[in-house]
Chains A and B, each alone.
Chain A
Amino acid sequence: MAMLLGKKVGMTQVYDESGKLLPVTVIQAGPCVVMQVKTADTDGYNAVQLGFDDVKASRRKNPQVGHAQKADTAPKRFVKEMRLPEETETEYKVGDSITVSVFVDSKLVDVVGTGKGKGFAGVMKRHGFGGFPASHGTERKHRAPGSISSFASDAGHGGKPKKGKRMAGHMGNCRITTKNHRLVAIDEEKNLLVVKGAVPGPPGGYCLVRSAKKV
């Protein structure tokens, strides 16, 4: 399984070989540095810790600076682990650099990012409720959730709304995975991945790209 950390650059369009215009997202992925190699013997599981985007050593606390020095690099802004299958011997070494070339054989990728925050959102935006009519006598409750419970229909809940009842609240700014993006192009010179469709997060936001889990 291939995985890289990156930054969303933005969206644009490209023509594919059949002359169709595709909406694509450009991701600047890697080069990622292997900060640490975890093995079943020492840590209980096999994994590789990847780091992306240098930050000045004076901006980070000493433990993080020291951790990065073991891999002979600067401290990183974005650090994530890539789990490896249990039985295999890992070919990664601390200090290795991983570039977009790991995706050369991949056709589909998953992208994980932090979605844009929407703040405190009502039920129509947050859960897709229908709302109420705009006219015909509706007053002051055009976007209201409606009844949230009654004693009779929610018997057994002690006259309280059911757990998990969909209501207004904070929306967005959480981890989102979008699956099976077609990998349209790879630019090894500029470390760019071009994937079809939209990817979670704002331009400039960090994201994680991995080869698709379920095809």
Chain B
Amino acid sequence: MAKKEKTATASKTDLLDAVENKSLKKEIPHFEIGDTVDVRCSIKEGDKERVQVFTGTVISRKGRGINENFTVRRIVDNEGVERIFPLHSPNVLDIRPVRSGKKRRAKLYYLRDRTGKAVRLAHRHSTHTVSK
């Protein structure tokens, strides 16, 4: 029996991607799990808009397409603070990797159980991080 020929209409995912792709950022800076990053995000307070920089370690990156987001963890006053940023949000202006860390996991959730000096990851020399 001859194979049934598929019609030339675009598939469901193609059409959804076409809509979604317009909201995606063209360029995303390269950063990895374990990197220390500076995330610049714009914050609206009433009519004013200002830029806030959140610095910390990337402990997870998940989702695909427009749902992709990453978690940044830092310690403020001995208290762990985590922020989850949508990667493609227009409010996330810039992500700048500052330092690469050695890691053997895709998700660094074990850092949540650590305090003090143990939260530091060993420095790893990498080309994409900006040396300070």
Contact = CB atoms under 8 A, between A and B. Distances in A.
Interface of A: 9-10, 12-15, 19, 21, 24, 26, 28, 185, 187, 190, 192, 194, 203-204
B60 interface: no
Contacts of B18: 187, 190, 192
Given A13-B23, A19-B42, 20 more contacts: A9-B12, A9-B15, A10-B12, A10-B16, A12-B19, A12-B66, A13-B20, A13-B66, A13-B67, A15-B66, A15-B88, A19-B89, A19-B91, A21-B89, A24-B19, A26-B15, A26-B16, A185-B22, A187-B19, A204-B12
Contacts of A21: 86, 89
Chain B residues touching A, range: 10 to 19
B122 interface: no
A14 B22 contact: yes
A67 B90 CA distance: 51
Contacts of B20: 12-14
A190 B10 contact: yes
Interface string B80-110: 0000001011110000000000000000000
Interface in B1-34: 10, 12, 15-16, 18-20, 22-23
Contacts of B88: 15
A12 B23 CA distance: 11
A15 B12 contact: no
Of all A-B residue pairs in the complex, the 4 with the closest CB atoms, nearest first, are A19-B90, A14-B23, A15-B23, A19-B91
A193 to B, nearest CB: 10
Nearest to B66: A13
Nearest to B18: A190
A190 B8 CA distance: 13
A203 to B, nearest CB: 6
B17 to A, nearest CB: 8
11 contacts: A10-B15, A14-B23, A14-B66, A15-B89, A21-B86, A21-B89, A24-B19, A26-B15, A26-B19, A28-B15, A187-B19
- Which of A10, A13, A204 has the most chain B CB within a 10 Å cutoff? A13
Nearest to B20: A12
B22 A12 contact: no
Contacts of A12: 16, 19-20, 66
